[in-house]
Structure 1
């Protein structure tokens, strides 16, 4: 599942993809993935592509927030939470730093 998410984001040309292992650290999910899109349109396209890939793989019950504005789209599939940001919004919220504060550095995905 994590590989599917990372590959979909890479295929969509998402930028600065970071994967955080939350297993044992949070009841929210086992994995959190954070990525950036270059613009509102790119964030929306990356999210649409990921949702299509997840549905095709049997994860069709994803909960999605933020699609109308595409500044920050959150996709929750239960075992993983995916955040797709515009760069300025990502910098402002700095979600990956908050979640990696008590663990080792986040894993940068380079495919």
Structure 2
């Protein structure tokens, strides 16, 4: 399995462990050079958003993946975690609706949990 897909699976599971809502994986490697995949989720409050972010970072780190950068940390309603091949977005419910990344990246391929083998 390729490395970026392995990272997606780890991040997806970490989001699920912290009850991340409406986890979406969008494959964008064929339409953009910024990454192979986007993973988008939201929490119900700032504490849950932070718990999801912390768990993703910890899980990926345990497997040797370190973020190139993390933006929006601490008390934020949108945290972006850039791992190079994958970009993780964790939002508050309100900001997720406002920014609507799924619409912006509608030309990407939505990847189901089943297609990831989870």
Give your verdict on TM over 0.5.
Answer: yes
Question: How many residue pairs were aligned?
Answer: 109
What residue number does 2:29 align with?
23
Any gaps of 5 or more consecutive residues in structure 1?
A: none
RMSD (Å), alpha carbons? 1.6
1:71 maps to which of 72, 77, 82 = 77
TM-score by length of 2: 0.85
Q: What TM-score does the superposition give when structure 1 sets the normalisation length?
A: 0.90
Alpha-carbon offset, residue 103 of structure 1: 4.3
Ranges in structure 2 where 5+ consecutive residues have no aligned partner: 1-6
List 4+ stretches of structure 1 deviating above 4 A: none
Contact 1:17 1:109 in 2 (8 A): no
After TM superposition, give the deviation of residue 2 of structure 1 in Å: 1.3
| Superposition map of 1:5-20 within 5 A | 5-20=11-26
For the 8 Å contact 2:69–2:81, the answer to whether it is kept is: yes
Q: Tell me which of 77, 101, 104 is aligned to 1:98.
A: 104
